Structure 1
Amino acid sequence: MANELESIIKDFWEVGAEVLPKLSSMNPKKRIAKFVGIYSEFLVHADSIIQGEINGVNVKCKEGCSYCCDHLIVANTGQLVVINEYLNEYPLVREGFIPKYPQWDDAFEPYREAFWYSVSRLKTEKATFDYISSVFSSPCPFLDDGKCSIYEVRPIMCRSWYSKRKFTSCKYNSKIKKLEIQCEEEIVQKILALEHYFLAQFGMREVPPGAGIMTLPHGIYYMKESARFMAGLRSKMS
């Protein structure tokens, strides 16, 4: 199975989403399980590309440094489903997330209306989206003693965030310390292609920009059962 998934992702990277297997004939839970496997292999491939680029760069990030985890972390539907399935497998991680969520949500309150407005009109309101992303600051509810409790399936924006500065300096302004990674744009485009593929397997083919984008904490807090969430999302988009 591992070799099969590795081959699928290599073909996807070189050719595009048209080489990915059709899942629509499966029941929703099997569709999600198959996508989780495909996406997990995608993360392995993406990580290897990122690590290949930063190899030899004097990156200062190290275990226990989590200042960049105060940023507004967003993810699309496919990423959220993969994380949600991970939490179903490791329920104690979800239990650690739940009591930290209200504090994060309170910090988000001043930006709530403007953020969701910008997401619903991403083509014309991207400046608002970017501004909120730059000023929001609150520890991610998945932080556990300075470590990411979903590190294995963390969103792609977390996987591509590195700093060349001394890690303690990020405490005062981590947003200007981000190392520019050349492969990041290509990986983001692949993520979008996977998202359209995933939604299409649930009958959602014409998806407007911004649809399915959520903050990581909100997406996980409200998702619960992945298959039911996908059914509700399809109903909203139909």
Structure 2
Amino acid sequence: MKIDIVANGRLLDVSIGLEATQSFSCVLSPPDGDVTFVDVLPEIYEIYTNVLGVNFEESEQNGKPVRCGKGCVSCCHQLITVSVHEALLLAHIVGLLCQEEQQRIRSAFDESLTRLENAGLFRDLLHSHVNAFDDRELVVDAQKRYWALGLACPFLLDDACAIYPYRPFICRQYGVSSDPEHCGKIFQKDHLIERIRLSHDFGSAAASFDGLEAIKTRAIPLPTIFLVHGMLHCFERPKATAEVMIARFLRHADKHFSR
């Protein structure tokens, strides 16, 4: 990835070269002064939208167009995991919604937690994803058990995402070229899901980045973000200017999570 970020007053002109013939530019308006990674997540999301656009276009040119679309919500019933940074941002975004919408979302989260607790899965989810994410067998087992419960994402309303502009990386990068119906068979041995090949995995990059450098991956199960919100503030949150923070993350993603 070739990265070029130029400050233009309060704006940042960002140019990214993915391969020799694949590049894009965008203009960002991040916060002034020193910021944490959480503060520039909206700008990172915008950059990733462009990266994914290049990836999806390449896939379509190779005869494998993205088959996902509005109303296709099988992926919203899988376990959605987010980085610490995204968990903090999502909790903040919910706090900005009208009172009625906040109550609806919080009720959906409470219901999910109750069902996880009743199924004896709550502690296992937290342990496997926060403390033992490198234990693939443990993580996949927890995800299978979650899928079996048939829980919808608490942000899903009328088959649409209630916080779509701020949806997590993992939701953005889940694209398939196979028949969307196969996504409902995710853990069956004969499932035929073909994911779009991506140049970069920003979701994993964010989960292993503290704003300064690479760290051990920590994934937060989405239904628990409000429950662990206070604890998340205890993690160190380095600061830098938006220009430095964005460039630092892009280099981290390119070094550790590129194909």
TM-score (norm 2): 0.64
2:67 aligned with 1:48, yes or no?
no
Q: 1:93-120, CA deviations, whole angstroms, 9 ceiling, x for partnerless residues?
A: 4322122223322332332232223235
2:95 aligned with 1:88, yes or no?
yes
Gaps of 5+ in 1: 11-20, 24-30
Query: Does structure 2 retain, via aligned residues, the 8 Å contact 1:123–1:209?
Result: yes
- The alignment yields a C-alpha RMSD, in angstroms, of 3.3
- How far the C-alpha of 1:181 sits from its partner, in A, is 2.4
Q: Cα distance 1:84–1:38, how it changes in 2: closer, same or farther (>3 A)? A: same
The 1-side partners of 2:77 and 2:67 are apart by 18
The 2-side partners of 1:77 and 1:157 are apart by 13
**2:210 is aligned with what amino acid?**
H
The 2-side partners of 1:67 and 1:216 are apart by 16
2:153 aligned with 1:153, yes or no?
no
* Equivalent of 2:73 in 44, 57, 66: 66
The 1-side partners of 2:168 and 2:139 are apart by 18
The 2-side partners of 1:135 and 1:164 are apart by 26
Q: Cα distance 1:8–1:49, how it changes in 2: closer, same or farther (>3 A)? A: closer
Identity of aligned residues (%): 14
Query: Does structure 2 retain, via aligned residues, the 8 Å contact 1:160–1:184?
Result: no
3-state SS of the aligned residue for 1:158? helix
Q: Which residue of the partner structure matches residue 166 of structure 1?
A: 179
* Equivalent of 2:137 in 127, 142, 151: 127
Give the stretch that moved more between structures: 158-167 or 113-122: 113-122
The 2-side partners of 1:209 and 1:215 are apart by 13
- How far the C-alpha of 1:221 sits from its partner, in A, is 4.7
5 Å-filtered alignment, 1:89-104, equals 89-91=96-98, 92-104=100-112
| Higher helix content, 1 or 2 | 1
Q: Which residue of the partner structure matches residue 26 of structure 1?
A: none
The 2-side partners of 1:8 and 1:53 are apart by 18
Q: 1:129-186, CA deviations, whole angstroms, 9 ceiling, x for partnerless residues?
A: 1321244221111100010111111111111112223334433x1455251423243x
* Equivalent of 1:191 in 202, 206, 220: 206
Q: 1:24-69, CA deviations, whole angstroms, 9 ceiling, x for partnerless residues?
A: xxxxxxx56xx44521111111111112111223222111111110
Q: Cα distance 1:188–1:63, how it changes in 2: closer, same or farther (>3 A)? A: closer
Gaps of 5+ in 2: 1-6, 17-31, 237-259
- How far the C-alpha of 1:90 sits from its partner, in A, is 1.9
